Amino acid sequence: MNARAYAFALLTEICIDEGYSNLLLRNKLQSVDPKDKALVTQIVYGTLQNYRLVRYQWQSYVKKEPCKEVALLLDMSVYQLLYMDKMPAYAVIDEAVRITKKNIHPRFSALVNAVLRQVERNGKRELEGNAIEQLALETSHPTWLVAMWKAQYGWQECEKICHSDLEIRKQCVRVNTMKASVEELLASGEFVKGNLAEHALYYLGNDIIHSNYYKLGLVSIQDEASQLVAQYVDPQPQERILDVCSAPGTKACHIAERMGDKGSIVCGDIHAHRVELIKNGARRLQLQSIQAQVMDATSLKEIEGEMFDRVLCDVPCSGYGVLARKSDIKYHAKSTDMDTLIPLQQQILQSASKHVVKDGILVYSTCTLNKKENEKQVAAFLAQHEEFECLQQQTIFPYTHHSDGFYIAKLKRVR
């Protein structure tokens, strides 16, 4: 299978079968010819990041939108024609026709050929619509999401968020300070210092997972903004910590490292296979304080009566802060997604708060940019729980440090 056919197969799994782009690329690129990996990656990520913009370029050339597979192939091909340098048009079009005949149906080949010839001949279309619609098209975000960000954060912030979501993020790691120091790894010449979190570095190689740094547990893959969560928790040696939505365990392991692996961290997830991810991560880092188990964060019946010094609620969220790394989220996003997420977050926060000792800490975090899931969620909780007060809250915008977008609130139980 050549590079374009492989890219189309991957895009089909992501966009039509709703697979996760980062997992699919990480797992399936291993079987791609090394000389084609960069091209496949660029086509897949480029098409996902610009999904609305590329579709806008060809939609006026069809009377009605074709089936999902043909539309996706046109998206991918238009991305190559208009937004990739040194990509011969004849090669893109010929290969698109070949893929149509082999992987979709021969009857669509004439349509694909005709539409792509029109795009090649006429070039890029000018963007139409009001300012919100133009920004949404230019940066390939749902229009409703851009409108929401404008209403919540203002136009300037909204523009910066949208454009930052088109950036290619570097691979960020967290130094395991139990085994190495930031200075030691910087001295290797294979890392550069992060800008936001104290133990964050950026790897200059291709894939940290295949390096000895990762295999020996010296580093873990974690975005800078995400690393701030454990700093907010601020765990102390010998404390009891609860992480109610822990899988895959990245933050729990960070908490364990910050406590010197002294104390206990009870970690939960509702799915047994995801609990195994937590255990695997703890084993790789040789952490003994992690106690992973199946638990339902909305009730926490599995730990009924148990109390903890610090509790982390890194809740399921809409993920609007990680769109640069996970463009498939914006591809599938619907305005109704938060209708089920917001009540779920409320339930988890209410449930977890019952397990915080007096003078203990409750940290609430999301990887989204949405005040309904963030500031308003915390405000609603505090209005119902006078025994808690907010010590600190922060929204990390993705453009500020070229990190994920995040929200973190640190609450204290005062009585």
Average pLDDT score over residue span 61-81: 96
Are both 99 and 160 inside the same structural domain? no
Closest C-alpha to 253, from 293, 218, 219, 281: 281
Residue 210 belongs to a domain: no
Provide the pLDDT for residue 379.
Answer: 98
Provide the pLDDT for residue 101.
Answer: 97
Residue 181 belongs to a domain: no
Provide the pLDDT for residue 283.
Answer: 96
pLDDT band, residue 28 (cuts 50/70/90): confident
Report how far residue 409's alpha carbon sits from residue 312's, in angstroms, rounded to the nearest whole number.
Answer: 10
Provide the pLDDT for residue 29.
Answer: 77
Q: Going by DSSP bridges, is the β-strand pair 308-314/240-243 parallel, antiparallel, or unpaired?
A: parallel
Are both 240 and 354 inside the same structural domain? yes
Percent of the chain with pLDDT over 90: 91
DSSP, residue by residue, 115-156: HHHHHHHH-PPPP-SSHHHHHHHHHT--HHHHHHHHHHH-HH
Report angle CA 96, 97, 101 to the nearest 5 degrees: 115
Average pLDDT score over residue span 54-60: 97
What is the tens place of the pLDDT at every residue in 171-186? 999 999 999 999 999 9
Q: Which is catalytic among the residues 162, 253, 367, 390? A: 367
pLDDT band, residue 21 (cuts 50/70/90): confident
Residue 361 pairs in a beta bridge with: 310, 412
- Identify which has the larger pLDDT, 294 or 210: 294
Residue 368 belongs to a domain: yes
Q: What is the domain extent for residue 99? A: 3-122
pLDDT band, residue 187 (cuts 50/70/90): very high
Provide the pLDDT for residue 234.
Answer: 98
Per the annotation, the verdict on 367 as an active-site residue is: yes
Are both 381 and 341 inside the same structural domain? yes
Are both 319 and 365 inside the same structural domain? yes
Report angle CA 149, 154, 156 to the nearest 5 degrees: 100
Are both 63 and 155 inside the same structural domain? no
> What residues are designated binding site?
269, 296, 314
Residue 208 belongs to a domain: no
Q: Going by DSSP bridges, is the β-strand pair 308-314/356-366 parallel, antiparallel, or unpaired?
A: parallel
Residue 111 pLDDT exceeds 90:
yes
CATH at 276:
3.40.50.150
Are both 238 and 370 inside the same structural domain? yes
Q: How many domains in the chain? A: 3
Residue 175 belongs to a domain: no
Domain boundary among 64, 95, 122: 122
Residue 32 belongs to a domain: yes
What is the tens place of the pLDDT at every residue in 322-342? 999 999 999 999 999 999 999
Percent of the chain with pLDDT over 70: 100
Q: Is the dihedral of CA 81, 84, 88, 91 positive or negative?
A: negative
Are both 373 and 308 inside the same structural domain? yes
Residue 311 pLDDT exceeds 90:
yes
Does this model's pTM top 0.85? My answer is yes
On whether the CB atoms of residues 231 and 255 are closer than 8 A, the answer is no
Are both 155 and 283 inside the same structural domain? no
Provide the pLDDT for residue 31.
Answer: 75
Are both 140 and 76 inside the same structural domain? no
Residue 386 belongs to a domain: yes
Average pLDDT score over residue span 150-169: 96
Are both 234 and 350 inside the same structural domain? yes
Whole-number average pLDDT of the chain: 95
pLDDT band, residue 217 (cuts 50/70/90): very high
Report angle CA 323, 229, 352 to the nearest 5 degrees: 105
Are both 390 and 346 inside the same structural domain? yes
Are both 84 and 158 inside the same structural domain? no
CATH at 34:
1.10.940.10
On whether the CB atoms of residues 297 and 270 are closer than 8 A, the answer is yes
Residue 35 pLDDT exceeds 90:
no
Provide the pLDDT for residue 146.
Answer: 98
Residue 411 pairs in a beta bridge with: 362, 390
What is the tens place of the pLDDT at every residue in 347-391? 999 999 999 999 999 999 999 999 999 999 999 999 999 999 999
Residue 198 belongs to a domain: no
> What residues are designated binding site for S-adenosyl-L-methionine?
269, 296, 314
